[in-house]
Amino acid sequence: MQIHTKKTKLFLDSVIYDEIKKYSWIISGVTTTPTFFNRDKVNFDEFATQLRSDYPDLELHVEALGNNSMETEKELKTILNKPWFSINKVVIKIPVSFDNLKIVSKYSKNGVKFNTHLVFTPCQAYLAVLAGSTYVCPLIGRYADNVSKFFGRNLHGGEDDITNKVLVDILNVVDNGQDKRVGVMASSIRTVGDFCNAVMAGSDIVTVPTNVLEDSIKNEYTDQGILTLLESVNVK
C-alpha cells in the first residue's frame, strides 16, 4: 500500500457532547446523522446551538434529508435559517443522487458547503465534484460490511481490504479534478483497520466514532514498554 504524507484532518462521528468535549483539542469537526440524534435521544437544535457556541472553530456537518428532492430542499432551507447556522462552519450532508446534486449545484453557487455522502463509486464521486460538492464522502465501513458478507470473511482493514481500492480510486478522481477545494472524507469507520486505511490512503478527512478512536491508540507492545519503564524506575 502506498502511504501518503497528506495531513488528514480528524473529525468525531458523534452527537454525545461529553465525547466531543473530551477530544475537542485534537479534532477539526463533528459529523452527525439523524440516526445518532434518535438513538442517543439528543435534541438536534440544542446540540447544534451549544456546539456552535462552545466550539465555534469546529466544523459541523448536519443532514438535509427528505423522501424526495422537494422535501430535501425544504429541510435544507430550514437549516439555512437556523440561528446557529454559519455558512463557513456548518456543512450540509446530502445523499448522492441526481436530484440531490441539482440542489448542491443550485445552493453551492451561493457559498453553501455540501458533504455529498453515501458515495461508493468513482463515478458518483466525479458527479458530486462536478455539481459543486465541498466534500465527497465514501462510507468505507458500510461497504466493507457488505463485501465481507458476500465473501464470508472480515475485510475491514489490511492489504486485502477491497474497500481500500474503492477509497483510493475515489481519491484519484477527486485529486485529478480541476477544483482542488474538494476534499474526500472517509466515513462509516467500523474498525481501527478502516481508520488506518483511510489515513494511509491520503483521505483529506476521516470521521471516526469514539470507540474506534480510543482503540486506535492502544497497542500491547506499548503497554509492555510502559510497564518495563515503570519497573526500571522502581528498581531499588
Catalytic residues: 93
Buried b (16+ CB within 10 A) or exposed e, 205-219: bbbbbbebbeebeee
Cα–Cα distance, 184 to 167 (Å, whole number): 9
Please return the burial class of 181, using the count of CB atoms within 10 Å of its CB with bins 0-12, 13-18 and 19+.
exposed
C-alpha angle 165-170-171 in degrees, rounded to nearest 5? 95
Helices (H), 24-139: 34-39, 44-54, 69-80, 98-108, 122-131
Closest CA to 61 of 100, 29, 26: 29
How many residues does the structure list for the chain? 236
